[in-house]
Amino acid sequence: MKQKLVVLTGAGMSAESGISTFRDSGGLWEQYRVEDVATIEGYIRNPKLVIDFYNQRRRELQTVKPCRGHELLAELEQDYDVTIVTQNVDNLHERAGSTKVVHLHGELMKATSSRNPNDPSQIITLDSDHLDIHQGDKAKDGSQLRPFIVWFGEAVPEIERAAELASEADIFVVIGTSLNVYPAAGLIQFVNRDTPIYLIDPKPVKWQTSHPHTVIQKGASEGVAEMIEKLKSKSST
């Protein structure tokens, strides 16, 4: 039976693909206020601004491709039972070939009901021929279609599933996230004490813990490659 490898990915995972991050210098939060484009209040106040913001993010997504780090995680499925738990709303993990991906913060390429955003029957998948949501586009329940994104202040429907996955992991990996955004950052607390943890990020990750862990201070692609080598060396001893 394959070992269960659970990977938590954040914005740094997709940064190498050219996806704009929110928190870094020059990131999206310097161009837009969080309150305006990533809260339900902002959406109610100015739905056109919010819909157009995510339409633009969707167009941007069409111009990029998975980085080598995404591909390496997908290739790990040959030797491990891999589940990706991502804070990212892009589909780069899926495009790289990963078959089990849990999206904590929603999916950019999907739209849903403004009235019942987490009702599976209301969620539709957009494609390259129909990228944009327009004002007046209706969900099945008759409400305005909105981006299928978990905004600040909204419940995170997949967090319990993610916590269960973390508790079952034989190996837990964190890539490209500051461990500052909750509830996702709290997932690491569900990892069993004897489960090895790998932290991959080019910047120092401020995580105060006595849990044994390995820090790989590199970007996603280089960091995942180094982690794979470490896993290989451990399995051969």
Q: How confident is the model at residue 166 (pLDDT cuts 50, 70, 90)?
A: very high
**Digit-coded pLDDT (tens) for 97-141:** 999 999 999 999 999 999 999 999 999 999 988 999 999 999 999
- Single out the residue of 39, 42, 93 nearest to residue 71, CA to CA: 93
The answer to whether residue 213 is catalytic is no
* Of 1, 2, 8, residue with least CA distance to 162: 8
With 80 as the cut, is the pLDDT of residue 144 above it?
yes
CB 98 within 8 A of CB 77: yes
pLDDT score recorded for residue 29: 45
% of the chain beyond a pLDDT of 70: 94
Q: Give the span between the Cα atoms of 197 and 209, in whole angstroms.
A: 11
* Residue-level pLDDT at 200: 95
Distance between alpha carbon 221 and the CA centroid of its chain, in Å?
16
Nearest to residue 104, comparing CAs of 70, 134, 149? 149
118 vs 35, residue with greater confidence: 118
Residue 88 has pLDDT above 90, yes or no: yes
At 25, the pLDDT band (50, 70, 90 cuts) reads very low
Of the listed ranges 26-30, 76-80, 220-224, the least confidently predicted one is: 26-30
Which pLDDT belongs to residue 204?
A: 84
Q: Evaluate if residue 37 carries a pLDDT over 80.
A: yes
Q: Which two tokens stand for residue 16?
A: 């190498």
Whether 27 shows a pLDDT value over 60: the answer reads: no
Which alpha helices (DSSP H) does 159-219 contain, by range? 159-168
CA–CA distance, 76 with 231 (Å, rounded to integer): 11
CA distance 170 to 162: 14
Q: Across the chain, what does the average pLDDT equal?
A: 91
pLDDT score for 51: 95
Query: Per the confidence metrics, is the pTM higher than 0.75?
Result: yes
CA–CA gap between residue 223 and residue 200 (Å, rounded): 6
The least confident of 8-22, 48-62, 140-154 is 8-22
Q: Domains in the chain and their CATH numbers?
A: 1-19+68-105+156-237 (3.40.50.1220), 20-63+110-149 (3.30.1600.10)
Q: Locate tokens 């909204």: which residue?
A: 154
C-alpha span between 172 and 47 (Å, rounded): 38
Alpha carbon distances (Å) from 62 to 18, 110, 197 = 11, 14, 33
Catalytic residue of the set 93, 105, 134, 211:
105
The answer to whether residue 146 scores a pLDDT higher than 70 is: yes
Chain position carrying tokens 């996955």: 165
- 169-223, pLDDT tens digit by residue? 999 999 998 777 677 778 989 999 999 999 999 988 777 777 888 999 999 999 9
- Which phi and psi angles does 119 have, rounded to 5°? -75, 115
